[in-house]
Amino acid sequence: MFCGSKRIATYIYGYPSYEAFKEEEAGKIAIGGCIVEMDSPVWKCADCNHDFYQKSLFHWD
């Protein structure tokens, strides 16, 4: 369970820039690393660090 905060940051994947680290410190984004997995988180609470997942980011036919 998460804290109920409305400060939710979107995960950014890939090699982060200096500006990305500053935005992460401010709670605007979350840095997720260089590899995106099928079950990688999409959002993160900037207050309690709870990760939120989307049911499916990819559609496989």
Asked if 11 contacts 29 with a C-beta cutoff of 8 angstroms, the reply is yes
Q: What is the pLDDT of residues 2-31, one digit of tens each?
A: 798 999 999 999 999 999 999 999 999 999
Query: Where in the chain are the domains?
Result: 8-49
Secondary structure tally for the chain: helices H, strands E: 1, 4
pTM of the model: 0.79
Q: Quick one: pLDDT band at residue 52, thresholds 50, 70, 90?
A: very high
Query: Residue 60 pLDDT more than 70?
Result: no
Using left for φ > 0, alpha for ψ between -120 and 50, and beta otherwise, residue 9 falls in beta
**Segment 35-48 mean pLDDT:** 91
- The DSSP bridge partners found for residue 45 are 8
